[in-house]
Structure 1
Amino acid sequence: MPAKATDSPTDYEEIDRWMGGVGWIAHPEETMQRASHALLTNDGVWLVDPIDAPGVDALIEEFGDVAGVVVLSNHHTRDADTFAVRHDVPVTLPAPMTDVAGAIDAPTDRLDVGGTLGEYELIEVARSGSTWQEYALYDGETLVASESVGAADYMRVGDERLGVMLLRRLTPPREAFADLQPNRVLSGHGPGVHEDADDALTDAIDNARRRFPKALVANGLAQVRTVAAALRT
């Protein structure tokens, strides 16, 4: 199983379908389980950190016209520009974001923290120089996290339904998510949680530090491999 697939996908795996959108994983075989999402809003469909794959456009079209594409982490652009050019929309970046990994070959615009994409508010999760800049979207029901929180196997330990990335377990995003009570939590890595998501998020954040030793043993090697793959490609 590769940490991060580099070949072109031949298909995709659908995840996270609900009335307000759908998600997909273009490379189900990879450890990172990079997930993309299409969110239905009153502005149209917003694509979040998308990765292209054959047939994905038909999946998106079920929910309407694409209003825009948004990137929530400075560590990747994925295929944001491909989708932006295809649908003739800009790539939206958080206003404070700098040092975005990779050139974006499409028009861009900026969204202030606290600004909205349809009903979704942009939340700052972490910003530490150019090392880690991460954002999330929240509409009162659905939280779309980017990096720190997810359900990919390498992010969880024990009976966790949501886990915190090993690199963030000692400094989990408590402040960013403290006042949120989502019905579902979607992530840039792995499938989302659609039942008792508030409890799963609280458990993940509150116990991130305590479970760090267990997570280090269980997921340390996988985390090193994913970081190396992300830096290499």
Structure 2
Amino acid sequence: MTRVINGIRIEEHTDQLYIRFPFALKDLFRASFKTSKWDSSAKAWTVKATTANKNKVAAWSATAEGAAADAVTLEETPFAEADLAKLRRDVARARQDIAAQRERAAAARAESARLTALFIELRKEVEAVRSDAAAAADELHAARQPALALCDELGVGAAIRTLAWFARKSIVLKADKGEFYAACQKLDAAHAEILGRLELNVPGLKLLGDVSVNRLDRLRELLALYEDDVLRGIDAD
């Protein structure tokens, strides 16, 4: 059911009253109906459809016409000097806020420019480090090739495979000790040959060449380091 009182439209639904009225009455309505809610889809204020609320809305609507006229009159009243002074203060404060925001924005731009320049410099340093690392890798690769070729020539791989075979045992039998030490001597001789011919120190060869037949645990440790890459840790003498 819909009623209209003094231009105020009241729609009654099962559990809600929908009230529509001029904007000038909003504060007056909210003061009278503190639990009211705005329904944006219906574009109306709502209160529960209780008997008390129905009577209260009807009574409020009957007296609202004069209140609306008073509200319009108040809105049309010229500004007082105090109002103008307040407005001037508000404008001055707004200008100060804008100036402060501009200062912060300028500082942020300066910091952004500083960080950008720093990032560019750091990126150049990273590229230089990468270039140096690549050059060092190329130098190491070049140094390793002659050493690898000489290792093949001197039978280093066969000697290491022999020691690896012994490393899988718990002890070295007396009959096998000659073969064990022959492999060690070959590695020790290869270390001296590479050092003399290429001026490269291959520590893995020296360590494996000096290992004792009674220290198979030490042999296993060394093989874990050097079996797959006997040239690990090479350097110029």
TM-score normalized by the length of structure 1:
0.20
Higher strand share: 1
Higher helix share: 2
TM-score normalized by the length of structure 2:
0.20
Structure with more relative contact order (C-alpha pairs < 8 Å, separation 6 or more): 1
